[in-house]
Chain A
Amino acid sequence: MIVLLTNIMLSVIVTSTPLLLAATGELVVEKAGVLNLGVEGMMLVGAICGFAVALKTGSPTIGVLGGMIGGALFSLLFSVLALSFLAAQVPAGLVLTIFGSGLSALIGAAYVGISIERLPHLAIPGLSDIPIIGPILFGEDILVYISFVAVVGVSLVLRYTHVGLVLRAVGDSADAGHALGYDVIGIRYLATLFGGAMAGLAGAYMSLAYNTSWSENMTAGRGWIALALVVFSTWRPFWLIAGAYLFGSIMYMSFFLQGFGIAIPSQFVSALPYIATVVVLVIISSNKARIRMSAPACLGKPFHATS
Chain B
Amino acid sequence: MPLSAAPDLTDTPLLQLSGIVKQYPGTLANDHVDLTIAPGEIHALLGENGAGKSTLVKIIYGVVKPNAGDIFWRGEKIEIASPNAARALGIGMVFQHFSLFEGLTVAENLALGMNEQRTRKQLRDEIAAIGARYGLQLDPSHNLADLSLGERQRIEIVRCLMQSPKLLIMDEPTSVLTPQEVDKLFETLRKLAAQGCSVLYISHKLNEIRALCEKATVMRHGRVVAHCDPRQETTTRLAEMMIGEMLTAPRPRLGLSPTALPCLEIDRLTIASDRKFGVDLKGVSFAVAKGQILGIAGVAGNGQTELMDALSGEVPSGKPSAVMIEGIEAGHMAPAERRALGACFVPEERNGHAAVPGMTLSDNALLSGYVRKALSKLGFINRPKTTNFAAEVIKRFDVRTTGPMSEARSLSGGNLQKFVVGREVLQDPKLLVVSQPTWGVDAGAAAAIHDALVQLAEADTAIVVISQDLDEIFSLCDSIAVIAGGVLSPVTRIADTTISDVGLLMGAAGGATETDASYRRNDAA
Contact = CB atoms under 8 A, between A and B. Distances in A.
Interface of A: 162, 165-166, 168-169, 171-173, 175-182, 289, 293-294, 296-297, 307
A179 B99 contact: yes
A184 to B, nearest CB: 12
Contact of A173 (B82, B84, B100, B274): B100
B65 interface: yes
A181 B100 contact: no
Contacts of A165: 104, 108, 111-112
Contacts of A181: 62-63, 82-87
A293 to B, nearest CB: 7
A307 B100 CA distance: 19
B261 interface: no
Nearest to B81: A181
Given A180-B113, A181-B83, A168 B99 contact: no
A173 B351 CA distance: 14
Most buried by B among A165, A169, A172, A180: A180
25 contacts: A165-B108, A165-B112, A168-B103, A169-B104, A169-B108, A172-B102, A172-B104, A173-B99, A173-B100, A176-B98, A176-B101, A178-B63, A179-B63, A179-B95, A180-B83, A180-B112, A181-B83, A289-B274, A293-B103, A293-B143, A293-B145, A293-B276, A294-B103, A296-B103, A307-B58
Contacts of A173: 99-102
A176 B93 CA distance: 13
A169 B112 contact: yes
Interface residues of B, number: 28
B248 to A, nearest CB: 36
Contacts of B104: 165, 168-169, 172
A182 B274 CA distance: 33
Contact of A179 (B83, B111, B276): B83
B324 to A, nearest CB: 29
B117 interface: yes
Please give me the 3 A-B residue pairs with the lowest Cβ-Cβ distance, nearest first. Answer: A181-B83, A172-B103, A179-B99
Contact of A297 (B85, B102, B276): B102
Given A162-B111, A293-B145, A176 B99 contact: yes
Given A179-B99, A180-B113, 18 more contacts: A165-B104, A168-B101, A172-B101, A172-B102, A176-B99, A177-B101, A178-B63, A179-B63, A180-B112, A181-B62, A181-B63, A181-B84, A181-B87, A182-B112, A297-B103, A307-B58, A307-B63, A307-B64
Nearest to B22: A307
A166 B64 contact: no
A132 B104 CA distance: 44
